Amino acid sequence: MTEILETEEREEAHEAKDLHLGWALVLISVAQLMVVLDGTIVNIALPYIQADLDISSANLTWVVTGYALAFGSLLLLGGRLGDLYGRRRIFMIGLTVFGIASLLGGLATNEGLLLAARGLQGLGAALASPAALALIATTFPAGPARNRAFAVYAAMSGAGAAVGLLLGGWLTGMDSIFGIEMSGWRLTLLINTPIGVGAALLAPRFLRESETHPGWLDFKGAVTGTLGLLGIVYGLSRAGTEGWGDTWTVASLAAGALVFAGFIVLESRMAHPLLPFRVFLHRTRAASFLAMFLAPAAMFAMFYYLSQYVQNVNGYSPIEAGVAFLPFCVGIVVSAGIASNLVNRIDPRFLAGIGTLLAAGALFGFSRLPYDTTFPVHEVTSSYWTDLLPFIVMMSLGMGLVFVPLTLTAVHHLRTEDSGVGSGVLNTAQQVGGALGLALLSTLATQTFTDRFAELGAAAGKAGGPAPSPDQLEKIQTITQHQVFTEGATNAFLLASILMAAASLVVWLFLSVKHTELATDGPEQAVHVG
């Protein structure tokens, strides 16, 4: 009888532990999804924000850029603060800041308040996101449980941008909530407040606090590292819109690189640096960081150009554009689930290698979208079912196979005290890679636009003939813009496929960790990896 009772007690304890881990994963996943989707959720709402708050076109981009700058430049600091002051504490602070900033942004009555709120959201995200990844690494036991948790996290990270487009399109179309009249764009921000604050309040119940090292904060490294990243991320973001020859682009990149070089020199002399270089002195981990730098640089092309293409060329409404990406959300969740099971039996190199090849193939498929820029131009559109959907699904399946194993290998066997900053490095690689990718792709696309418009203008001047009516001229200009945009986008997709192929090469050559080693725990110096 006693043995039966003891068995039942053990089973109840296991069930309670599983429930505890399940809710912990829900909290972490919701937080990560919220942070990632906020980078795109306001994109569709931008015209409405501009009209409502009377923001100039030049300043409108700061609604998106302000968030990205604060997020990307503060990630390293956010990750290290979690290591030093407690990951659960920093996670809760980040979510609370994010929720309050979302409230301020949703209720903003002028441009200044909205832009400040977006920057504050970026700060909250930079605190919460690396802490979330580190909490998975330290909360879940190595093996299948941790792999499944990383799969969910990776799915949220990958699907977040697509979910943002879908949710942004839906919320922007609303004009009231609970009977209260309200511009839909405000809801794209206000929705975060109850989620962020609620998750922060529940965190102490389901997440354990990590040990703290409050005396180890590297203040000089925090300042120089943040300023260096800020200059680099801003320079790359500006290059995407103003070009590489722009004065502020060059100045920002040069200043950022110079300050970051100083940061590296400082870090080499610190006893407890903000960024311990031992994080990079591991071939498999370094390969993971590099691959996760290149892959988002390529993936950004799909969301940025394809979301514009389906609306401007194919005539989709905002909500239809969001729905068009719904298969990506489903596909990456399915693929991440499959990857979490296969990574217990197959080495990460093969999963991530196949995934990057699939993604490269999908991007190459997008580069084959039909267009006609011969004079006189003719309107050519694509079929969603044959020209877009197969490659959207292919991309989602590939990225699910990429994110799960690379997230695992990037943080596996890190020293416990480095889990937060390791997560920060991974997130920083993704953000900076995305900014660099957009800058490169935008440069190529913009050059295509410029060259093709010049050629078409010259051809029109030589053609002669009767002058078109105002209506005909407007139609010709619209068709020309659509076809030239498509050509520029396809060139960007082709470059993106090359970047993804480069990520694949890194994976196949350098990601040498075995799947059996992912089921072990212990600091990096205690386990030989790769």
CA distance 300 to 200: 30
Q: Do 495 and 444 form a contact (C-beta atoms < 8 A)?
A: yes
Beta bridge partners of 177: 180
Report the chain's terminal Cα–Cα distance, integer Å: 50
Residue 509's pLDDT is 95
Domain range list for the chain: 1-212, 219-271, 275-460+467-530
Residue 397's pLDDT is 96
Beta bridge partners of 176: 181
Match domain 1-212 to its CATH number in 3.30.2350.10, 1.20.1250.20, 3.30.365.10, 2.70.98.40: 1.20.1250.20
Residue 6's pLDDT is 47
3-state secondary structure of 181: strand
CA distance 80 to 66: 22
CA distance 68 to 296: 14
Beta bridge partners of 180: 177
pTM for this structure? Answer: 0.86
CA distance 336 to 133: 16
DSSP state of 176: E
Residue 9's pLDDT is 42
Residue 240's pLDDT is 77
CA distance 62 to 414: 36
CA distance 295 to 308: 21
Residue 521's pLDDT is 55
Residue 460's pLDDT is 66
| DSSP symbols for 464-494 | -SSPPPHHHHHHHHHHHHHHHHHHHHHHHHH
Q: Which mean pLDDT values do the consecutive 10-residue runs of the chain (530 residues) have?
A: 48 50 88 86 83 84 86 91 92 96 95 95 94 87 84 85 83 72 85 93 90 81 93 88 89 96 91 86 89 89 84 84 88 92 92 97 96 77 93 96 91 80 89 85 84 76 63 74 87 94 96 81 42
DSSP state of 521: -
Residue 200's pLDDT is 94
The two tokens of residue 295 are 């892959």
Pairing mode, strands 180-181 and 176-177: antiparallel
Residue 3's pLDDT is 53
Give alpha helix (H) positions in 280-417. Answer: 283-312, 318-324, 326-342, 348-366, 389-411
Residue 13's pLDDT is 45
CATH topology identical between 1-212 and 275-460+467-530: yes
In the CATH scheme, what is the homologous superfamily, with its name and number, of domain 275-460+467-530?
A: MFS general substrate transporter like domains (1.20.1250.20)
